[in-house]
Amino acid sequence: MLNFERLWGERRDHVAVSIDTLIVAGWTGRDAAAIGHHIEELAAIGVPAPSAVPLFYRLAATQLTQVAHLQVLGPDTSGEVESVIVSLADGLWVTVGSDHTDRKAETIGVALSKQLCSKVLGPRMWRFDEVAPHWDRLVLRAWVVIDGERLLYQEGPVAGIRSPQDLIARCCGEAGLPAGSALFCGTLSAIGGVRPAGRFEMQLEDPVLGRSIAHAYDIEVLPVVS
């Protein structure tokens, strides 16, 4: 079970959530040039170009976690900040997440690389209907700690990424995102290129309502033996 504090209007509650469907959307940029840049960015580390854009990867929902300490196999993984839509019985909610990915495995297959790493979610959610009118003004940010230095790793408005409504329509059709589902909506380019780090910090900011959802986790690299 995942545990969230939900905030909407002046109200809040705490819920335990069971997610049985996990979808990670890739290549979700609205700007074709930006998509091309991200494809080139990943091509630089050997990742093949996608067959179509956007793509929707189905992953094991058991990979979802809210840990502050993430164990990964080998030194070639990294996080990427995303907005995440969570569908519950009472509607759609939004939180922040990291699509942590094995970059070495990504050169073999993107779906495989995503399945190999846990997907980390933040501790809070906002009702989607509250932010939908000003969605494009939300801002994603991520920082990494590398060799003891904290660096800004990703930053930008979600306006550069396809809207949740667009993604849900493309992946789920008129039926919408089923209750018990989580949809990662895509990421931004990495400042200075994709690279591993010892710590990943992520934030989704709502400057209109003056609030943010943040979470961070340390990364422990486990040895690869054969």
Give the DSSP H/E element, type plus range, for residue 34: helix 32-43
> Largest Cα–Cα distance in the chain?
55
Determine which of 2-11, 43-52, 76-85, 191-200 has the lowest per-residue pLDDT on average. 43-52
Q: Per-residue pLDDT for 92 more than 90?
A: yes
Q: Per-residue pLDDT for 42 more than 80?
A: no
Quote the pLDDT of residue 11: 95
Q: Residue 168 burial (CB < 10 Å; 0-12/13-18/19+)? A: buried
Q: Per-residue pLDDT for 38 more than 80?
A: no
Which domains, and CATH codes, for the chain? 2-219 (3.90.850.10)
Quote the pLDDT of residue 135: 99
